[in-house]
Amino acid sequence: MRLHPGRIALIVFQTVWLNVILPGHQRGLIVIPGDDLACHASLASTSAHHSCCPTKESGAPDPDRKSRCAICFFAAKLTPGVVIDLTPPALQLLRVADVPAAQQRKAIASLPTYDGRAPPAV
């Protein structure tokens, strides 16, 4: 079996992603945009400071930063969802059906023979 360059690239990407980057990253280092952008935009327009927004002077870390980690978000989107098992249940005997009594016929209706390729019989 030949390994195409695309397959090799996928194997290398999965190996690096799952064994190096994902377990070794520092949570919250790279964050997805969220509520802090609106907070910082409002701070830039006014000189007032909000108590929910950390300032550079206070040095308080953002408690919400780790929950918005971009690498964790990307890894969560790559994992497949829950699989729904649609396997039918095992077959089993539910009940034994009663055998109906045989009906007797007195005569079988016979139809005249018709050969579609011959002329009609007189």
Say if CB 44 and CB 55 are below 8 A apart.
no
Helix (H, G, I), strand (E, B) or coil at 109: coil
The per-residue pLDDT for 111 is 72
Contacts 24+ apart (CB under 8 A), 33-39: 34/64, 34/68, 35/64, 36/62, 36/64
What gap in Å lies between CA 44 and CA 92, rounded to an integer?
A: 72
Higher pLDDT, 122 or 60: 122
The per-residue pLDDT for 42 is 45
What gap in Å lies between CA 118 and CA 78, rounded to an integer?
A: 72
The per-residue pLDDT for 43 is 45
Say if CB 43 and CB 49 are below 8 A apart.
yes
Q: What pLDDT, in 10s, does the model give residues 18-67?
A: 888 888 888 888 888 865 544 544 444 444 444 555 555 545 556 677 78
Say yes or no to pLDDT of 1 above 80.
no
| Residue 79 main-chain phi, psi, to 5 deg | -75, 140
Report residue 115's pLDDT band, with 50, 70 and 90 as the boundaries.
low
Supply the Cα-derived Rg of the chain in whole angstroms: 38
Residue identified by tokens 């927004």 is 53
Q: Quick one: tokens of 62?
A: 């953002």
The per-residue pLDDT for 33 is 81
Q: What pLDDT, in 10s, does the model give residues 68-111?
A: 888 888 888 877 778 889 999 899 998 999 998 888 877 777 77
The per-residue pLDDT for 104 is 82
The per-residue pLDDT for 88 is 92
Tell me, what DSSP letter sits at residue 47? S
